[in-house]
Chain A
Amino acid sequence: MAAAPVANQAQAVLRSRLCDPAFVHSPLRSSPDTNYSKLKYLVNSSVSEACNNSVLLLGPRGCGKGAVLDMVLEDLKTEHPDAISVIRLNGMLHSDDNCATKEIARQLCLEHQLSFSKMASSDDNTEFMIDMLRECGLAHKTVIFVLEEFDLFAQGKQRLLYSLLDAMQTLTSQAVVIGMSCRLDADQLLEKRVRSRFSHRKLLFVPSSLDDIQRLMERLLMLDKDSSLPTNYVTEYNSRLTSIFGSKKFTGILNSLTDADATTSNILRFLFRVVSYMEMESGLLSMECFTNALSSMQRQPKMDSLQDLSILELYILVCMNRLEDKEQSSYNFNSIMKEYRSIQDAYRTSDKYATTVCFRAFEHLLDRELITFADSKGRNVALEYRPVKLLISSRELAEALKINTTCPAVLQKLLDRERYM
C-alpha cells in the first residue's frame, strides 16, 4: 500500500531531472573533445589572455547549445569570480537596435552597481557601452555578450552587431561575443562590414548518436541506490528498466523516435511522457509506457481532424478534390456546390442538403484549416466567391475515408474510380 507515495516520489525525482538542463547535459563536463570543452577553452583563453573573441554556436533547436553555454559560463564564473560579466540578449526580445543597446546599458549598470535611466537615448546608450567596454578592459574584466537567436540580430541594418564587433577591434577592450542560432547559415547573413570584424569561429552542434541517446536515457531514468527511496523498490525498478532497455522492441521504439527527430529536447519530451505514464500502483515503468508515449508523439494532426468530420463535410472535401483533379485553376464555394449538386443528382443519395447547411459545413472546414482561401486579399468579396484550396493531399483524404467507418460507400467510389467522370 505504501507503493503509491513511493511512486509519486520517484516520479517527482524523474520529472525534475528531465526539466533540468544542467543535469541532462552534465556528462559533457567529464568527457573530452566535446563542444563543451572547446567552448570552455576558447572563452577561458580569451579571459586569461585578455583578448577579444567572437564565436557562433550553430545547430538545430534542442541540441543543447544554451545548456552547454550556461555550463561553461558557470564554470568560468567560479574560476574567475571577478573577471567576468555576462550580458545576455535574446533576438526575440532585443532585435531592435535601440532596445538592444538599452538592454545592454541596463545590464551593465546592474552589473556594476550604477543607476540606470530608462530615458537615455540610443546614442547615449551606445556611447555608454563603448565607454564601459574600455573601462572594463582597463580593469581587466572580460565582458561576455551572449546573443541568443543570433539570426534575428542580423535583420535590418545590423547596427548593434557592428558597434559591438567594432568596439572589439580596439586594443583596450576585452570582450567575447557568443552568438547562438539554429540557422546554420547565420554567419552568411552578416553584412560585409560586420563579417570582416567577426572571427569566423563556429561550433556546430548536432543531434547525438543512437548510442549516446541510449546512454542518456539510462542515466536519466535509472534511480540512484543511495536516494531516499526504499532500496528494494529502487532495485526492482532498475532491473525492470534494464530489461526494457535490453529488449529488441525498445530498440525499435528508439529507432522510430530518432528517425523523426533525434534532438535532445525531443528525447526529453519522450521520456517526460514515459514517466508521466508510469503505473502509479507499482511505481514501475513498463513497456506500455514507452509504446504509449511513442504513439502519442507520432499522432498526425491532419488525419485526426479528418476523422472528426461529419459526412457532409467529407462530401465537400471530396468535391474539392474532384475539382482539383479536373485541373480547374481556381474554384470557390459556388463551384463546389455545383459539383456537389451534380454528384447528388447522379447518385441520388440521402445526403442532399440546402446551400446554407453546406456553407456551414464549409465554414467548419475553414475553421479546422483543412481548406483555406487561396487569395490573401478580398476583404469585401463575399466568402462564397473567394477562391479556396485544399490543405490535404488526396492520398490523406483517401486514407481517412478508408479508416472512417461511417463514411458512405459512394464517397469512396467518387474519390477512387470515377475521378474523371
Chain B
Amino acid sequence: MASTQTAQFAPHSAILGLSPARTRAQNFPNSRSPLPFPFDPSLWYLGFRRPPRAAGRHLALASSSAAMSQPVTPRRTTRATALAPDSPSSPPKSRAKHSPRRQLLVAAAAPDSPSSPPKSRVKPSPRHQLLVAAAAPNSPSSPPKSRPNPSPRRQLLSTAHAPDSQSSHPKSRPKSSHKRQFLVADEPNEANPLDALLEALPGRRAQATDLLRLLAPAPALPVLLHGGAATGKTRALLLALRHLRPSPRLVYAALRSLPSPRALFASILSQLKALSKRIPDKPSDFIPALRDALAGIVSQGELVYLVFDNLEVVRGWDKGGQLLSLLLRLHDLLWLPQVVLVYVSSTTPDAYYTMTGSVEPNHVYFPDYSVDEASDILMRGHPNPELYSAFLSVVLKPLFRVTRRVDELAAMLEPLFRRYCEPLGDLNGVPDEGIKRRLFEHLQPHLAVTLNETFSVPMRDSVGECKNGISVGKGSVKRQFGGRDGLSSELEFHMSVSAKYLLVSAFLASRNPATLDASLFDSTGGSDSRNRKRKSSQASIDRKDTMAEEMLMKGPGTFPLERLLAIFQCITSVSDDVLDEVECSDTTMGGTGMNALMSDVLLQLSTLCNSNFLSKSRSCPLEGSARYRSNIDEDLALKVARSVSFPLSKYMYRR
C-alpha cells in the first residue's frame, strides 16, 4: 500500500522537489484513517484455478443396491465420469503450501519490523511456522498496524524478545526435527514451567492461569479472549498453548491478514495439510473438508487448537455476519470434543450477539495494564534499570493520563529518554537524588511537548539542530520546543511556490462562502460588505450561530475547479503586487513569474489530490464537473501562507 503510494508520487515529486518520505510525513495529519489490514500479496500468487470440468451427472453405479430391495434404475449411464479432482487426499500444490506461512508472518510480525525473522529461510517445518507466528507477537504491545515511526518498534521488539529467550525457542535453530531436545534445552526451569510462563507474561497472571485452566485438559468448550488493543491477548494465548503438554497442534488464523472467506478457508485447510486443488469458497464446502481433516488428526490422538485472531474484522467483510455466526457456532457444527476453539477479539463480546441468539463461548477478559504493570513491561531488558526506573517514575504518570496503550507509550518514551540522558555523560551510572532532580528539570519542558503530540517527524535539519541545542544550552531548546507551533514551524515545505498558492486558494475556496468571493477579492466590493456587516440584528447573530454550528458539523465545503482557478489567479496577482513593491523588481520579471505560476496548475492540482491535501469528489452527473475539497486545517494553511508571505488571515471570512 505504502509502496504503491510512493510510486505514484515519484513523477510529481521530481517536479515538486518532494521527497516521498517527507510528503507522507506532511500528509499524515490529513490521512488519519487507520491503515487497512496488512494486505498479503502472496495470496494472489496462489493461482486459484478452476478445476477441470468433469462432465457428467450422478451416475447411479450399477451397484447391487445393497441397502435396497429394489434397485434404482440407473439414469444416463452413457457418460462415465472422471470425478472432479478434489478428493482430500490429492496433494496440494507446492505453491499453495507456502502461502499460510507468509500469512502468518505477515499476520504476526510487524510488516516493517526490522527484527522480524528472515523470510528466505530454507523450508521451515510447519511447527516452525507456528513458532515464528507465536514468537512475533511476543512483544506484549506490538500492534498489528504499521506506524510511521519504526524506531520505537525496534526497541520494543528487542526489549520484548530479550527476556523471553529463555522460555521461547530460538528461531535461528535449523529444522526442528529435534523438537523434544530443545524443549528441554530451552527451559532450564523445566521443574516449574508455569513460573516461566507467568514470568514471560508480566501483569497477566490471572488471565494466564484462567486460560490454562479453561484450555488445559482436552475436551473444552470454546473460549473467547477479549480486551483492548495491545493487552497481550495473542501473546498470552500462544504462550499458554505452547506451555501445554502434550503439545497440541495449533491452527492459527489471523483474520486481519486474510482478506476474504476464501483465503481464510485456504489458510486453515493448508495448515491442516488438507488443501485440495480446489479451494472451497462456500461454507458448505469448507465445513465438511474441515471436519474430515480434523477428524483425521483427532483419530490419531492429537489435540487441535483452532485459533481465530482479530475476530472483530469479520464484521466488516462482505456477508461478514453470516461468516461470523458460522465461526462462532463451529463447535456445534463439528462436534469434535478434541478440537478446542479459541477466539481472540479486541471488541467486547456483545459485538457478536445476534438476533436469534448464539451459544456463547467462555470469556476471558484482558484489562489494560495498570501503571505499575506498564512500567514493569517497559523496564524489561533495559540496560540501566535504575536510571530508567527513575525516568519512568517521573514520566509515566502524566503520559498515562493521555494514553494507556503500552505500544504508544513506548513510542513516546523513547525520544524522551534520550533527552533525559542528555546531561549525563555516563549512561551506566546509578543516579542519586540530586542528579535525578536535575535531570527532571532538564526534561520538564520536553515532557509538556510530548504530551501534546502524537508522532514526531525526525528530520535532517532538526537532528542537526538538536545536536547544536545540546551545546547551546537550555534557552535555545526552550525556544525551539516552546510549543507545538514552535516545533512545527521548523517544518519546511518542500513544495513549489505555485503548489503552495494552490493549496492556499483551495483552503480559501473551501472555507469562504462563494458569495463573498467578489467582495473579498474585488477591491470595490470589499467596503460594501463591511458596511452591511455593521448593522447586525439579533436574528442575524442567531443565524450566524447556526451557520457556525453547521460549518462545524459539515466540514469544509466543496468547490468547482473554475472557482479555485479564479481565486488562485486573484491571490497570485495580489502577492505579485506585494512582491513588486517590496523588491522593486521590474515589471517584466513579475509578468513572467506570474505566467510560470499559472503554467502547470492542473498538474500541481492532481499532485495535491494524490497526496490527499485535496480530495476530489465524484463528478456531478448534471454538471459533469468534479468538485474539490481541501483537507488541510487552518494551522497548516496559515503556515503555508506564511512561507510564501501571503496575508491569508485578511482573506478568511470570520463569522
Q: Which residues between 55 and 85 of chain B lie within 8 Å of chain A, taking CB atoms?
A: 55-61, 63, 65-70, 72, 75, 81, 83-84
Question: Complex formed: what's the CA distance from A151 to B356 in Å?
Answer: 10
CB neighbours of A20 from chain B (8 A): 219, 337
Asked whether A302 and B70 contact (CB < 8 A) given A114-B60, A310-B403, the answer is: no
Is B452 a contact partner of A354 (Cβ separation < 8 A)? yes
Interface string of B208-239 (1 = CB under 8 A from A): 00100110111111000011110000000000
Is A357 a contact partner of B451 (Cβ separation < 8 A)? yes
CB neighbours of A60 from chain B (8 A): 357
Is B402 a contact partner of A312 (Cβ separation < 8 A)? yes
CB neighbours of A183 from chain B (8 A): 356
Is B54 a contact partner of A119 (Cβ separation < 8 A)? yes
In the complex, residue of chain A having the shortest beta-carbon distance to the beta carbon of B552: A334
In the complex, residue of chain B having the shortest beta-carbon distance to the beta carbon of A386: B555
Q: Which residues between 75 and 94 of chain A lie within 8 Å of chain B, taking CB atoms?
A: 82, 85, 90, 92-94
Q: Which one of A163-171, A227-235, A272-280 contacts B?
A: A272-280
Asked whether A109 and B58 contact (CB < 8 A) given A269-B362, A367-B229, A368-B228, the answer is: yes
CB neighbours of B227 from chain A (8 A): 308
Q: Which one of B151-159, B175-183, B252-260, B322-330 contacts A?
A: B322-330
Is A310 a contact partner of B402 (Cβ separation < 8 A)? yes
B454 within 8 A of A: yes
Asked whether A387 and B553 contact (CB < 8 A) given A8-B217, A90-B333, A351-B401, the answer is: yes
Asked whether A141 and B219 contact (CB < 8 A) given A117-B57, A119-B54, A128-B58, the answer is: no
Partner of A361, one of B58, B402, B555: B402
Asked whether A182 and B356 contact (CB < 8 A) given A118-B54, A138-B70, A380-B617, the answer is: yes
CB proximity of B197 to chain A, nearest CB, Å: 16
Interface string of B541-573 (1 = CB under 8 A from A): 000000001001111000000000000000000
CB neighbours of A82 from chain B (8 A): 67
Is A332 a contact partner of B404 (Cβ separation < 8 A)? no
CB proximity of B336 to chain A, nearest CB, Å: 10
Question: Complex formed: what's the CA distance from A380 to B83 in Å?
Answer: 50
A364 within 8 A of B: yes
Question: Complex formed: what's the CA distance from A374 to B325 in Å?
Answer: 25
Question: Complex formed: what's the CA distance from A332 to B553 in Å?
Answer: 6
Q: Which one of B15-23, B109-117, B280-288, B388-396 contacts A?
A: B280-288
Is A61 a contact partner of B357 (Cβ separation < 8 A)? yes
Is A135 a contact partner of B72 (Cβ separation < 8 A)? yes
B363 within 8 A of A: yes
Question: Complex formed: what's the CA distance from A121 to B53 in Å?
Answer: 13
In the complex, residue of chain A having the shortest beta-carbon distance to the beta carbon of B402: A312
B615 within 8 A of A: yes
B623 within 8 A of A: no
A399 within 8 A of B: no
Chain A CB within 10 A, most for which of B53, B228, B454, B554: B454
A324 within 8 A of B: no
Asked whether A15 and B219 contact (CB < 8 A) given A61-B358, A112-B68, the answer is: yes
Is B283 a contact partner of A93 (Cβ separation < 8 A)? yes
CB proximity of B465 to chain A, nearest CB, Å: 22
CB neighbours of B363 from chain A (8 A): 296, 299, 301
Is B84 a contact partner of A310 (Cβ separation < 8 A)? no
B642 within 8 A of A: no
A16 within 8 A of B: yes
Interface of A is mostly: helix
Asked whether A385 and B403 contact (CB < 8 A) given A115-B81, A269-B362, A357-B453, the answer is: no
A-B contact count (CB 8 A): 232
Is B219 a contact partner of A19 (Cβ separation < 8 A)? yes
In the complex, residue of chain A having the shortest beta-carbon distance to the beta carbon of B64: A113
Is A16 a contact partner of B72 (Cβ separation < 8 A)? no
In the complex, residue of chain B having the shortest beta-carbon distance to the beta carbon of A134: B72
CB neighbours of A66 from chain B (8 A): 332
A338 within 8 A of B: yes
Is B401 a contact partner of A312 (Cβ separation < 8 A)? yes
CB proximity of B610 to chain A, nearest CB, Å: 15
B400 within 8 A of A: yes
Question: Complex formed: what's the CA distance from A314 to B451 in Å?
Answer: 17
Asked whether A308 and B56 contact (CB < 8 A) given A92-B329, A273-B214, the answer is: no
CB neighbours of A132 from chain B (8 A): 72
Question: Complex formed: what's the CA distance from A109 to B75 in Å?
Answer: 13
Interface string of A346-375 (1 = CB under 8 A from B): 000001011011011101100111000000
CB neighbours of A364 from chain B (8 A): 228-229, 403, 405
CB neighbours of A16 from chain B (8 A): 218-219, 337
Is A380 a contact partner of B615 (Cβ separation < 8 A)? yes
Chain B CB within 10 A, most for which of A15, A94, A140, A182: A15
In the complex, residue of chain B having the shortest beta-carbon distance to the beta carbon of A315: B401
Interface string of A53-80 (1 = CB under 8 A from B): 0000000111000100000000000000
Is B333 a contact partner of A276 (Cβ separation < 8 A)? no
Is B365 a contact partner of A330 (Cβ separation < 8 A)? no
Is B67 a contact partner of A113 (Cβ separation < 8 A)? yes
CB proximity of B173 to chain A, nearest CB, Å: 32
Number of interface residues of A (CB under 8 A): 93
Interface string of B362-379 (1 = CB under 8 A from A): 110101100000000000
CB proximity of A301 to chain B, nearest CB, Å: 3
Asked whether A302 and B359 contact (CB < 8 A) given A105-B58, A387-B553, the answer is: no
CB proximity of A53 to chain B, nearest CB, Å: 21
Asked whether A124 and B57 contact (CB < 8 A) given A269-B362, A361-B402, A382-B32, the answer is: yes
B576 within 8 A of A: no
Question: Complex formed: what's the CA distance from A246 to B291 in Å?
Answer: 43
A212 within 8 A of B: no
Interface string of A11-36 (1 = CB under 8 A from B): 11001101110000000000000000
CB neighbours of A92 from chain B (8 A): 283, 322, 325-326, 329, 333
A396 within 8 A of B: no
CB neighbours of A353 from chain B (8 A): 402, 451-452
Q: Which residues between 181 and 221 of chain B lie within 8 Å of chain A, taking CB atoms?
A: 210, 213-214, 216-221
Is B57 a contact partner of A131 (Cβ separation < 8 A)? no
Asked whether A117 and B59 contact (CB < 8 A) given A268-B221, A310-B402, the answer is: yes
Is A119 a contact partner of B57 (Cβ separation < 8 A)? yes
CB proximity of B49 to chain A, nearest CB, Å: 16
Question: Complex formed: what's the CA distance from A351 to B399 in Å?
Answer: 11
Partner of A114, one of B61, B350, B555: B61
Q: Which residues between 304 and 334 of chain A lie within 8 Å of chain B, taking CB atoms?
A: 304-305, 307-312, 330-332, 334
Question: Complex formed: what's the CA distance from A332 to B554 in Å?
Answer: 9
B347 within 8 A of A: yes
Is B453 a contact partner of A356 (Cβ separation < 8 A)? yes
Partner of A19, one of B69, B221, B554: B221
B349 within 8 A of A: yes
Question: Complex formed: what's the CA distance from A353 to B357 in Å?
Answer: 43
Interface string of A237-265 (1 = CB under 8 A from B): 00000000000000000000000000001
A99 within 8 A of B: yes
Is B350 a contact partner of A301 (Cβ separation < 8 A)? yes
Interface string of B444-478 (1 = CB under 8 A from A): 00000001111000000000000000000000000
Q: Which residues between 169 and 222 of chain A lie within 8 Å of chain B, taking CB atoms?
A: 182-183
CB neighbours of B346 from chain A (8 A): 367
Beyond A124-B57, A381-B555, 16 additional contacts (C-beta under 8 Å) are A11-B217, A12-B217, A20-B337, A92-B326, A92-B333, A93-B326, A105-B58, A114-B63, A124-B58, A135-B72, A139-B68, A304-B367, A335-B552, A357-B452, A368-B228, A387-B553
Nearest 10 pairs of A and B residues by beta carbon: A385-B555, A301-B348, A19-B219, A354-B452, A308-B368, A93-B284, A276-B213, A311-B401, A120-B57, A61-B357
A-B contacts, 30 of them at CB < 8 A, read: A15-B218, A15-B220, A16-B337, A19-B220, A61-B356, A99-B282, A105-B58, A114-B59, A114-B60, A115-B83, A117-B57, A117-B58, A117-B81, A119-B53, A128-B75, A135-B68, A135-B72, A138-B70, A269-B221, A272-B362, A277-B213, A301-B226, A301-B349, A304-B348, A305-B348, A310-B404, A331-B553, A354-B484, A367-B229, A368-B228
